[in-house]
Amino acid sequence: MAFRINSAAPIRICDNGGWTDTWFAEYGCVFNIAVAPHVRVQLTATPRASAKQQVRINATTYGESFAFDLGQPVPERHRMLAAALEELPPPDEVAVDVTIASGVPGGAATGTSAAVCVALLGALSHLRGEHHTAHEIAYAAHRVETQRMGLQSGIQDQLCAAYGGINLIEMFEYPHASVSPLRVPEATMWELEHRLLLLFLGKTHSSSAVHEQVIRRLESYGGSPPQMEPLRQAARQARDALARADWVALGQAMQANTAAQAALHPALVGSEASEAIAIAQTHGVLGWKVNGAGGAGGSLTLLCDGEVQRQQEVVQALQQNGSFRVIPIQLDRQGLRVWA
């Protein structure tokens, strides 16, 4: 008899203060916004005796399907899925069929891989009859990347996917952090949702070489690198601006953060992002934030001035570049959700 579990987790945009949630920053402050489209996971459990191998993965974004037993090698780009299954393995007597779907392209620099991991761990936790908090699931997802896979990873993406909403994440000692949800009037949330645009820049984010250069430079400091402070300040400025519904100030905080990213390395604001920013500026856009760590490709968060006609004009102008694509978004208030 089959037992089906569904889970969903939001992606992350407008992450002012990103880079300060890393081990080499020592302490950090990140403002980010959780949005749909969600990453969705559907896990179907059946008796182990009815399956040749314990796990089947259906990765719809890649159009790929494969089966394996825990501990066996898997395709490199799906290694995180296997690592998540090792973090919270299904019971020995159960086989699982896992389907994963995402509404954003892979490599959009919106924390999608962290959202996949959070959603999968949420479903596995339910399958195991366990009850983990959002914080516990986020840190389990962080362990998957850093301990099981040996990757560099901040903490903000996992926390955003697990908690949802708009948060100020304050890291007091890597990787330990507190999450403070920003409570604002409903009308402010509606207005923010109305003004935000998520722009995919036409190609997947690929900047590992640049990121390694930045990391080597930053980790050479004896204490917290001084380049981190403008990023932390931009996070606090964004929180304060949104609390006041001061859209000009919020846009300025986004601009300041993007400038601080470029100060870490010019290539962190890639040519595609620079082109999109130049177009947006001619249409009165108030703010722009290169999502994630930055680099070639990926995506950009734009904060419009609230005028519907001008917003339509900027969308049309951006999409005249055949590679750029606006991805419809909605604010996510809940974070990880799991149901059977």
Domain shared by 195 and 166, yes or no: no
Domain shared by 210 and 323, yes or no: yes
Domain shared by 33 and 170, yes or no: yes
pLDDT in tens, 68-123: 999 999 988 899 999 999 999 999 999 999 999 999 988 899 999 999 999 999 99
Report the DSSP pairing between strands 55-59 and 94-102: parallel
CATH value at residue 77? 3.30.230.10
Domain shared by 193 and 304, yes or no: yes
Number of domains comprising the chain: 2
d(C-alpha 80, C-alpha 113), whole Å: 8
Q: Looking at this protein, which amino acid is placed at residue 82?
A: A
Domain shared by 161 and 210, yes or no: no
Of 137, 174, 132, residue with least CA distance to 159: 137
d(C-alpha 299, C-alpha 112), whole Å: 12
Domain shared by 122 and 150, yes or no: yes
pLDDT tens for the 340 residues of the chain, in order: 689 999 999 999 999 999 999 999 999 999 999 999 999 999 999 999 877 899 999 999 888 999 999 999 998 889 999 999 999 999 999 999 999 999 998 889 999 999 999 999 999 999 999 999 999 999 999 999 999 999 889 999 999 999 999 999 999 999 999 999 999 999 999 999 999 999 999 887 665 678 888 998 888 887 889 999 999 999 999 999 999 999 999 999 999 999 999 999 999 999 999 999 999 999 999 999 999 999 989 999 999 999 999 999 999 999 999 999 999 999 999 999 999 9
CATH value at residue 266? 3.30.70.890
Domain shared by 174 and 227, yes or no: no
pTM of the shown model: 0.96
Range of the domain at 239: 186-329
Domain shared by 201 and 242, yes or no: yes
Domain shared by 178 and 196, yes or no: no
d(C-alpha 11, C-alpha 104), whole Å: 9
Domain shared by 30 and 166, yes or no: yes
Domain shared by 282 and 322, yes or no: yes
d(C-alpha 223, C-alpha 238), whole Å: 26
Domain shared by 238 and 298, yes or no: yes
